[in-house]
Structures are given as structure tokens and as C-alpha cells.
């Protein structure tokens, strides 16, 4: 096996979590003459009546910090399972799903795209309803250019197929689920993005996002996260979370909240401008103490989401108040 440090750590965690974790290889990818497994891990109660949360990362091969944050969080959970009764109790009431390294081929080759040159975040069969930025919004000109969507009419790339299958089976099958997908590289602040990316219209579950933000704000009043719809920054074709959210919409009784943690890296670069000259540099913190601060910091957010998913029936607002909350949320993000 080739050595990809994140994959080695993931496999160490599989060993460490024996007895608690179920693991399967969702697909295998080739990069040159190397083969890599894409793992899906689950823990907690499999009862389909219970809520679930999925943690996803490594969709873009250059954004290693997303995978590292998830592995750090998972290692902490596994260590606590040795003695923490409250965590065992929590896991009796929620299902956890992890896909921390969705694009190992891209990570191995130090590219954003997968080994076929496709950007996995532009590859879903969904067209933007509004104007998208040139190239960045997704393009079919060439896999040599960034943000390549894949050929017209082609199936989704196997990494995206594996991701979609995991989400469909483990999350969309339930009454309530959250997905959090970890990225880095945009802006100087940490952002929590939610759909849509393909249109400027608000999602039907904006009220739930509004509540999540409020709950998090109550516990961590000075947190640095900026919550916003992705469409506020730029629109894209082929966003896989839009695609899955729209699928979930086919059953109105269900709630599926896909969130993207977009770690703002420009500040890391500002504090250490030498990072500009390395390929990984602008997407990942390179100074040891900064790396550890980033890893620790986001654990708080992931832990919060896990608890929020578990106890959703205690905070999700129902009708008749729900309509009003949705209106407030629309005013918050769409009519500033």
C-alpha cells in the first residue's frame, strides 16, 4: 500500500475502534499504478427510526485539513468510548457516519480534482439556474482546467457515486439527518455554507438552519463561524449537496440538512506568507501550533452538530411557528 498519511491514520483508527466501528470500502480508486480504498465508517445505533449525522471530507485532494479535522474528531470519540458513559448514552440515540477521505487519489496526486481530472463538487447532474462565474462555476471545456464537471451525460465519478450511496442509505432513509462536509481555502473566515449552490432561492429548511445557528450562538457566543447560503458567494453547476438535498425533498416528512464547513485559510497565509509558495500551502495551516488550534477548534462545532442531530426533536420548530421562523430566516439571508 502507498503511504498517504491521512489514509494511514484512518486505518489506525479502524484498528483502534474495533468493536465500536463498522467499516466498509465504499469504492476503490486508482491513481497511476496505485489503488486506494474509500472508507465508510459507522458507529452508534443503526435503528432507522433514529436521527443520523454524516461527516464527510477530502472531496478536494488539496484540502487535507478537512480530512485531518474529521480524523482528529473521530480519534477523540474513540478514546472517550473507553470510559465516557455519556458518550455511550448519546450513541444509543444517534447514528454516526464518517467518510473522511472521499478523494484519496486526488490527495495522493496533490490535486483538487480526482485522478480523472473531475472536480467532485461540480460533478452531480444538476444545472445552475442562475449565472455562474466563468470556470469556477463548473466547466466542460477540459479536464486540464480547474472545476471540470466531467463529460456531458456521463455517469458521476465513482467517488461521488459512493458518497451519494452512503448518504441515501444512511441519512436520507431517516426522519432527520445532518451532513457536514469539510473544505478549506475560501476567504479569511470560517464559514458554514448551506444549499443552494445552483440557485439564489432559499431552501425549504432554512428555518432549521436558522435555529441551528441560534443554538450554537447561545452556547458559544463569540464563535467565528459565518453562516450563509453558498449562493451568496458564488453559484455553481453540479453541486453534490444540492443534488442530494433535492432528492431528500421528494419526501416532505423528512429533514436533511447538508452543511459545508469552509475553513477560511487566507488568514493562515497572511500570518505565514511563505505558505503562498507551496502547493498545499494556501489550503492548509502549515505551522504546528496553528494546525492544532484549527483541529481542536472545529471539534467543538462537530460535537455540537452531533448533539443537535441526536436531540433534534427538542429544537426543530413545528407549525404553526415554523412558517414565521422560515420568513425570519429568509429576511436574515436573502433580503439584507
Residues in touch with Zn ion (CB under 5 A): 60, 63, 183
Nearer to Zn ion, 9 or 181 (CB): 181
Name the minimum Å distance from CB 146 to Zn ion. Answer: 11
Nearer to Zn ion, 64 or 183 (CB): 183
Q: Which residues does 129 contact at the CB level (< 8 Å), separation at least 6?
A: 198, 199, 201
Instruction: Name residue 259's beta-bridge partners.
Output: 180
Nearer to Zn ion, 125 or 146 (CB): 146
Nearer to Zn ion, 95 or 183 (CB): 183
Name the minimum Å distance from CB 63 to Zn ion. Answer: 5
Largest CA distance in the chain: 58
Name the minimum Å distance from CB 262 to Zn ion. Answer: 7
Quote the strand ranges of 240-329, DSSP E.
255-263
Nearer to Zn ion, 164 or 325 (CB): 164
Rounded to 5°, the CA angle 167-172-177 comes to 90
Q: Is the Cβ–Cβ distance between 99 and 166 less than 8 Å?
A: yes
Cell 457516519 belongs to residue: 97
From residue 159, how far is each of 26, 267, 281, 290, 291 by CA, in Å?
Answer: 8, 30, 25, 30, 27
Name the minimum Å distance from CB 180 to Zn ion. Answer: 13
Name the minimum Å distance from CB 57 to Zn ion. Answer: 9
Nearer to Zn ion, 50 or 101 (CB): 101
Name the minimum Å distance from CB 220 to Zn ion. Answer: 24
Give the integer Cα–Cα distance in Å for 152 and 175: 34
Nearer to Zn ion, 60 or 64 (CB): 60
Rg (CA), the chain: 19
- Could you tell me the three cell numbers for 89? 448514552
Q: Is the Cβ–Cβ distance between 134 and 235 less than 8 Å?
A: no
Quote the strand ranges of the chain, DSSP E.
22-31, 34-44, 52-57, 95-99, 176-184, 191-194, 226-229, 255-263
Nearer to Zn ion, 13 or 263 (CB): 263
Nearer to Zn ion, 113 or 162 (CB): 113
Name the minimum Å distance from CB 60 to Zn ion. Answer: 4
Give the integer Cα–Cα distance in Å for 265 and 322: 36
Instruction: Name residue 169's beta-bridge partners.
Output: none
Residue nearest to Zn ion (CB): 183
Residue in 167, 109, 166 with CA at minimum distance from that of residue 143: 109
Instruction: Name residue 257's beta-bridge partners.
Output: 178
Give the integer Cα–Cα distance in Å for 254 and 246: 12
Name the minimum Å distance from CB 87 to Zn ion. Answer: 30
Name the minimum Å distance from CB 70 to Zn ion. Answer: 14
Give the integer Cα–Cα distance in Å for 277 and 287: 14
Amino acid at each position: 500500500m502507498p503511504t498517504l498519511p491521512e489514509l494511514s491514520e484512518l486505518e489506525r483508527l479502524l484498528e483502534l475502534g474495533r468493536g465500536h466501528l463498522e467499516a466498509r470500502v465504499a469504492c476503490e480508486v486508482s491513481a497511476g499504478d496505485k489503488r486506494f480504498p474509500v472508507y465508510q465508517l459507522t458507529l452508534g445505533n443503526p435503528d432507522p427510526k433514529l436521527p443520523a449525522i454524516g461527516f464527510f471530507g477530502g472531496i478536494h485532494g488539496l484540502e487535507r485539513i478537512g480530512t485531518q479535522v474529521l480524523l482528529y474528531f473521530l480519534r477523540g470519540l474513540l478514546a472517550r468510548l473507553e470510559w465516557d458513559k455519556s458518550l455511550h448514552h448519546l450513541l444509543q440515540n444517534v447514528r454516526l457516519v464518517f467518510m473522511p477521505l472521499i478523494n484519496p487519489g486526488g490527495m495522493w496526486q496533490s490535486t483538487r480534482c480526482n485522478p480523472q481530472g473531475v472536480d467532485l463538487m461540480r460533478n452531480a447532474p444538476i444545472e445552475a439556474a442562475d449565472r455562474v462565474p466563468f470556470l469556477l462555476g463548473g466547466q466542460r471545456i477540459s479536464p486540464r482546467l480547474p472545476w471540470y464537471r466531467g463529460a456531458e451525460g456521463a455517469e458521476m465519478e465513482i467517488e461521488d457515486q459512493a458518497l451519494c450511496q452512503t448518504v441515501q442509505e444512511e441519512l436520507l432513509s431517516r426522519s432527520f439527518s445532518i451532513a457536514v462536509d469539510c473544505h478549506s481555502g475560501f476567504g479569511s473566515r470560517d464559514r458554514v455554507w448551506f444549499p443552494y449552490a445552483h440557485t439564489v432561492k432559499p431552501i425549504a429548511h432554512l428555518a432549521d438552519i436558522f435555529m441551528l445557528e441560534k443554538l450554537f450562538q447561545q452556547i458559544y457566543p463569540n464563535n467565528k463561524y459565518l453562516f450563509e447560503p453558498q449562493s451568496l458567494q458564488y453559484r455553481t453547476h453540479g453541486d453534490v449537496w444540492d443534488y442530494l438535498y433535492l432528492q431528500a425533498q421528494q419526501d416532505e416528512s423528512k429533514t436533511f440538512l447538508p452543511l459545508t464547513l469552509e475553513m477560511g485559510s487566507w488568514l493562515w497565509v497572511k500570518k505565514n506568507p511563505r505558505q503562498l509558495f507551496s502547493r498545499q500551502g494556501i489550503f492548509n495551516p502549515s505551522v504546528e501550533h496553528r494546525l492544532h488550534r484549527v483541529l481542536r477548534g472545529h471539534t467543538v462545532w462537530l460535537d455540537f452538530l452531533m448533539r443537535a442531530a441526536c436531540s433534534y426533536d427538542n429544537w426543530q420548530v413545528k407549525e404553526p411557528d415554523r412558517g414565521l421562523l422560515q420568513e425570519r430566516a429568509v429576511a436574515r439571508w436573502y433580503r439584507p
